[in-house]
Structure 1
Amino acid sequence: MRSTRMIIAVAALGASILSLAGCADTGPDAESSVAIGTSDRFSSYNTTTPSGSASGNADITTLTLSNFTSYDESLEVAPDTSFGTVEKISDDPLVVRYTVSDSATWSDGTPVGAADLLLDWAAHSGALNTADFDPTDYRAAVSDNGAADLPEDIVFFDSGARPDSGLGLASELPQLSDDGRSMTITYSHAITDWRIALPPPLPAHVVAQNALEVESHEDAAQAIIDAVSHEDFTALSKISSWWNTGFALENVDSPEETYLSSGPYVIDDIDSEKGITLSANPEYSGAHRPSIATVNVRYLDDPAAQVAAVENGDVDVISPQATPAVAEQLAALDDLTTLTGLVASFEHIDLQFGASANGTFDDPLVREAFLKTIPRKAIVEKLIEPIVGSKAQTRDSFVFTPGTSGYDESAAGAAFPAVDIAGAKALLDEAGTPKPEVCILYAANNPRRAAEFDMIAKSASQAGFSVTDCGTDHWRQLLGVPGKYDAAIFAWQSSSLGAVDSESRYATKARNNLNGYSSKTVDALFRDMSETEDAGEQSELLADVDSELRADFYGAPLYQFPSITAFDPDRIAGISPRVIAPSLTWNLWEWRSFE
């Protein structure tokens, strides 16, 4: 019989999420497999560049790249000592040492070591980036061509590193241990999120082999260490250029040689139109050894096609775009387990600052006028309420998740206005721009976003805005590219519960700051936030960020993301979606296949 339960709600972010039994030490049955139907396509192995920061990429790298820590079933930061250890050596100054375990190995047999850690530091601290380099033209060239070379001797790791935040505060060259297994970094200021500051390392020897044309694995790893340690800017320019774009699928000739794994699974095959096949990594001996030998990720863009595929047994599990139609289709099926609820991702519309297609929103009066036309409540009632019922609500904060501490106070302090067409017209008259043009970017192949665009465009036109449909299937490649659009509808996924998680979106030139917003006040608030461990003070600082974003008419949050996951319990077990990304695949090594 079909069963239904609610995913852990956003009000219980700290609550325990059930996790089923892990895998056996003997390894997976060679015949065991699971097929996942998804519309999220893999496009890059590097998830910390602007173009690579996508759910379809994180769903894969979660299974292939190990790290020192991850979030466990209770959403607590948990160490993975089978990969290595991260430990605080001193508080003043803050000194942190990373040590890779003796068993940590890349899937080509190369040990994970100092070169991988040092490249990770260089890329995410920005310490070696060329000062005052303006990446605007470079990023535009990357967007247009898929890859572009940096100017000679210009070093630029496009990770969104900032000198006053996170690893940007660890600008001194790290110390490497004699055995090549440890890296020690020193911060100029203390930060609260030091445990999760370093992203999963990428294979440094692969970067050097491609960027510097070094053949042997050992020599390539040493070339990275030499370039960083000696500040060889000629070599670093090539290294950073390749790091930025070399892991993008469109630029990879040999995925099996480029997409090396340090985690439980390794990528076997990639078809950009059909999907990805992963298999258990024979070189992996860590704590997340899988119980399923083969994972087939199949691309199905149409949510209805995903429902049909899981019903017919073509795939074992789906987590499609949650629309009323999908909810209705799944409700009619008796043999599936369906999990519904809300997750920490949220839909929003961002307005471009300073480099938009038409320059429409350079004037704050026009920004304010446009926000008065957005039918937030109607969008929720039509598109979200049929899925999750009474839990559907507009999201009224940029930085707080509904149900978490601080949300109610911040949302009540300056609630977003209801639709006010007369007020919008008055503001446009005051601005002297009666018919401003607004090109709105969104995923044209996403039914819910297409419906949102239609509702927003219809409402805005009543106030005099001339709205252009700039929806495209390739919307992600255009995000953040100057001159391409005036506003964008998409979602932010929260993959971290760190105190400054939202900094990457709203701080000046931060990695996920895609609309050119810049506020000295907001930047200072995030700096203060990174240095305090007092939860109450952090909440107050976040509330101040919320107020500043509203006052600047940054854009508008729309709603908390609904989620639907469906699977046949007779074929698969262990599936337990969580509220932060990756929601579905975070514990795939614990899944069990019955076929």
Structure 2
Amino acid sequence: MGQRFVGFRSAEYRVAAATVAIGALAAGLLSSCSSTDQVPSIGYAVDSPLTTYNANTTQGAASAAPVAFPRVLTGMSYTGPEGNAIADTDYGTANVVPGDALTIQYRLNPAGVYSDGVPTSCEDLVLAWAARSGRFTKNDDAGKSVPMFDAANTAGYADIERVQCQAGSKDATVVFRPGRGFAEWRSLFGATDLMPAHVAAKVANVSDIVSVIAANDKDAVGRIADFWNNGWKLTPGQIDPSLLPSSGPYRIESYSNDDGLILVANDKWWGNKPATPRIVLWPKNTNIKDKVASGAVEVADLGANSIDGLDFSGFTHANAPSRNSEQLTLGTTGVFASPDARKALALCTPRQALFDKLGHPDYIKTSGLGSGPLNSRLVQADTLIYPAESGEGAKYPGGDVPGAVAALAAAGIQTPTVKIGYLAPDDRRAQTVKAIADACKPAGINVEDAGSPQFDPAALRAGQVEAVLGGTAAAPGSAGATDNTDARFALRAGSGTNYGNYNNPRYDAIVDQLSVDASPATQLSASGEAETLLWAEMPTIPLFNEPRTTAFADGMEAGIPNPSKSGAGWNMDKWVLKR
């Protein structure tokens, strides 16, 4: 991986990193006095289900793929511990070309090659752009035009006019549409964004993926899209390694319920070899409590207090606020078709009490992340403009039964039932739902716990629940970044992660403006307008910055928390455990 060191903005994570560093130093001192051996395999537990290799689909964004594969599917950047995109020069370089429209010249590392021996090429960038541009559509059974690719969102990629690429080349020129220079362009084509185009082309029976996309060959692109959407799904005991080549330090060896997802060193990797040759990932559907107790887990990145009775004896661990926004995502049809009905739930939801009880375990902050109920959906709590954006949210501390009753009356609804779904088991979220149910019952709102081990946030779109309790973009586990792109696009019409089908053209226009204009004045005024609009229409109810627990087994070196969507595994190829 390219540039590695990143300073922590969060005091808690600076403390955690320092503690890990001190532990590593102590281990080094001990090694001079006694014999220690490096452990050849490290277990890594996360709190999302692992269902696909492709983190870019709607399902993938709600899976463990973003935390499992940053060092398997590398790219032009990776998400560092502060939540920002950092250039990964092992994969390639990116430089702005002078001109009226934003133009980026990408040059992939000449030594880059997938684990199956096929060189990385600009075709991988072309596939990523095509899949997430939103421009390739088809008619559904009702004759409505819908995207061919089931992308989680089109942020940035929809602003690209073209990707100039000759098949097999290591060079690509990406030209953005006039006036649509995506401000966060450095995050594009990053780790887990670039899927192996040669695999998609082979399965789709396409000889030249660049030409069929350039020609908008609907039949060929449709076959590519079908594979991109479904062909990289992961079922324990049934994976085909030939479909899963790696462009990073690790590759997938196997996946089973009993043994977890096994990553092994990729002997075709052209950068520094991974320090530990084997990583075993344990996703949400395994019994993480038992895995920790049995010694199968040496690294854990979990929602704080999500697993009751978890014993981290023998670990260096800490709770700290993350860039993940714990929130309720609400439907906009049925019971919640009226904004007043959604406001009713927001008025009685005990946001302040939930923060006090569940939102800051073992730490107290007076400002920034984790310092109070989250009062903005689009602005991080540790930024200068957050205080100006949080005024509307302060009007909803919770427990306002008369206000909720009045809002229900305005909506013309009596005694509604609200099913809140989340990925179970999760003790903290179960407590959250119970607290909301108790607080809202006097207002006549019946809240039901619809948590399930099989829960998918798509259940909201299907009308099976009225609300999802999750993180940024309804993710069940690690999520969030400094640029807020995922949060903004999760409420934009047409986005795959807009599970509640919220639709407001003015909000969409603001998101589009914020995407290309990073000036402080625009960020302040446009974000403020958007927040006012969102508090008025209430498509989500923000609660708090999700507290996360990061744990490293004693003797771990290079374990550094990452309170963003990449999780603690962002640098797993550097991990060394000595005992």
TM-score range, shorter chain: 0.7 to 0.9
Taking a change above 3 Å as real, the CA distance of residues 282 and 328 of structure 1, as seen in their structure-2 partners, is closer
Say whether residues 1:211 and 2:195 are aligned partners.
Answer: no
Match of 2:348 in 1: 373
| Residue type at the aligned position of 2:523 | Q
Q: Which amino acid aligns with 1:426?
A: A
Report what 2:358 is aligned to. 383
Which residue number in structure 1 is paired with residue 120 of structure 2? Answer: 112
Residue 412 (1) aligns with residue 408 (2): no
- Which residue is equivalent to 1:396? 375
Cα deviation for residue 593 of structure 1 reads 2.1
Map of 1:185 onto structure 2: 174
Structure 1 contact 82–103 (Cα < 8 Å) conserved: no
> Which of 414, 423, 448 lines up with 1:468 in the alignment?
448
For the residues of structure 1 that align with 2:378 and 2:11, how far apart are their CA atoms? 15
Cα distance, 1:54–1:499 mapped onto 2, change above 3 Å:
closer
Match of 1:347 in 2: 326
Structure 1 pair 191/293, CA: closer, same or farther in 2 (3 Å)?
A: same
Deviation track 1:70-105 (CA, whole Å, cap 9, x = no partner) reads 244565543222211222213412222222221111
Could you list the per-position Cα deviations for residues 394-425 of structure 1 after superposition, in whole angstroms to 9, with x for gaps in the alignment? 11111122222211221134424231112211
The residue identity in structure 2 corresponding to 1:183 is A
Q: How far is the alpha carbon of 1:158 from its aligned partner?
A: 1.5
AA partner of residue 197 (structure 1): L
Give the aligned length: 544
What's the counterpart of residue 157 of structure 2? 167
1:115, distance to aligned residue in structure 2 (A)? 2.2
* Structure 2 unmatched runs, 5+: 1-6, 25-36, 473-477
| Corresponding residue number in structure 2 for 1:313 | 295
CA contact (8 A) 1:16 1:73 kept: no
The one of 444, 450, 454 equivalent to 2:424 is 444
* Counterpart position of 1:575: 559
Please name the residue that 1:24 is paired with. none
SS at match of 1:412: coil
Q: Give the direction of change, closer, same or farther, for the CA distance of 1:97–1:499 in structure 2 (3 Å limit).
A: farther
- CA shift, 1:210, in A, is 2.1
Report the residue type matching 2:299 in the other structure.
V
**Structure 2: which amino acid aligns with 1:68?**
M
Alpha-carbon RMSD across the aligned residues, in angstroms, is 3.2
Alignment of 1:76-475 (within 5 A): 77-130=85-138, 133=139, 156-160=148-152, 162=154, 166-172=156-162, 174-177=163-166, 180-188=169-177, 189-199=180-190, 200-212=193-205, 222-250=207-235, 253-272=238-257, 274-286=259-271, 289-299=273-283, 306=289, 309-310=291-292, 313-323=295-305, 329-330=311-312, 333=313, 335-354=314-333, 359-389=334-364, 393-417=372-396, 418-475=398-455
Aligned partners of 1:194 and 1:228: how far apart in 2?
22
Q: Which residue of 1 aligns with 2:32?
A: none
Give CA-to-partner distance per residue, 1:129-166, whole Å, 9 cap, x none: 34xx469999xxxxxxxxxxxx9xx861121555xx52
The corresponding residue for 1:148 is none
Distance 1:208 1:242 in 2: 9
TM-score normalised to structure 1 length: 0.83
**Structure-1 separation of matches of 2:158 and 2:299:** 40
Question: d(CA) in 2 for partners of 1:371 and 1:134?
Answer: 35
* Structure 1 residue 430, shift from structure 2 partner: 3.3
The letter of the residue matching 1:420 is: D
Closer/same/farther in 2, CA of residues 251 and 270 from structure 1, 3 Å limit: closer
Deviation per CA, 1:347-383: give whole Å up to 9, x if none: 10111013xxxx0011122121121111112222222
Q: Secondary structure at the match of 1:543?
A: helix
Q: Is contact 1:175-1:183 (8 Å) kept?
A: yes
Paired with 2:533 and 2:102, the residues of 1 have a C-alpha distance of 30
Give how far 1:266 is off: 0.4
2:13 touches 2:561 (CA, 8 Å); kept in 1? no
Residues 135 and 452 from structure 1, CA distance in 2 versus in 1: closer, same or farther, beyond 3 angstroms? farther
8 A contact 1:397–1:557 mirrored in 2: yes
CA contact (8 A) 1:17 1:578 kept: no
The equivalent residue for 1:52 is 60
- CA–CA distance in 2 between the matches of 1:286 and 1:136? 50
Q: For 1:40 and 1:340, locate their aligned partners in 2 and report how far apart those are by CA, in whole Å.
A: 18
